[in-house]
Amino acid sequence: MALYFLEKKDLIAQIFEDYLDDSIEDDLDILETVESENIALMKGKLRDRYDVTKIFSIENYEDKPLIKKVLCALINYCIVKRNKARKIPSTFSEEYKWAMQWLKDVKDGKETPAFPVLETSRKEVKWGNNKNDEYYY
């Protein structure tokens, strides 16, 4: 159960540890898989405006706890859903819906978290004219 970006303490801040352990006991690698799938989902939503490589690295930035909260909401929902799909507590569903809406709002520019901004290289524009002094002769 090696997580790439999160630590188990991040997940159990939103879910009981026993509940998490019961949900992954039959497949210990599932947590790693679910984390990587949800990171890919988040990168897809954020990549047009933010540097996702920096966001999901070990670098610190102002809103890192926020990105962890969103990722935990997505992961916890997926983990609980795979165990008891019909008995998902409404809190997990609400957190999941909030996280997905927040990602959509960030993508649409309605939310502006303090994430590392994508550095785009500016294309050099060459100005000039094609004056032809002999045009009227």
Segments making up each domain of the chain, as ranges = 8-108
Split at pLDDT 50, 70, 90, the class of 86 is low
CA 96 to each of CA 30, 74, 100: distance values in angstroms, whole numbers, following the listed order? 18, 5, 6
Between residues 65 and 125, the one the model is more confident about = 65
What's the burial of 73, exposed, middle or buried (CB within 10 Å: 0-12/13-18/19+)?
Answer: buried
Mean pLDDT of the region 77-88? 74
Collapsing DSSP states into helix, strand and coil, what is residue 133?
Answer: coil
- Per DSSP, the three-state class of 50 is strand
pTM to 2 decimal places: 0.78
Is pLDDT of 41 > 90? yes
Higher pLDDT among residues 87 and 76, named by residue:
76
The Cα 124–Cα 19 span in angstroms is: 56
Q: In whole angstroms, what is the distance from residue 90 CA to residue 58 CA?
A: 32
Mean pLDDT of 86-97: 82
Q: What is the pLDDT of residue 120?
A: 74
User: Six-digit token pair at 117?
Assistant: 């901004």
Residue 46 has pLDDT above 80, yes or no: yes
Closest to 68 (Cα-Cα) out of 82, 78, 58? 58
pLDDT computed for residue 122 by the predictor: 65
Residue 137 has pLDDT above 60, yes or no: no
Residue 57 tokens read as 């690295």
**Cα atoms in the Cβ-side hemisphere of radius 13 Å centred on 47:** 7
Q: What is the spatial distance between Cα 98 and Cα 48, in angstroms, rounded to a whole number?
A: 21
Task: Compare 26 and 39 and report the one with higher pLDDT.
Answer: 39
Per-residue pLDDT band at 80 (split at 50, 70, 90): confident
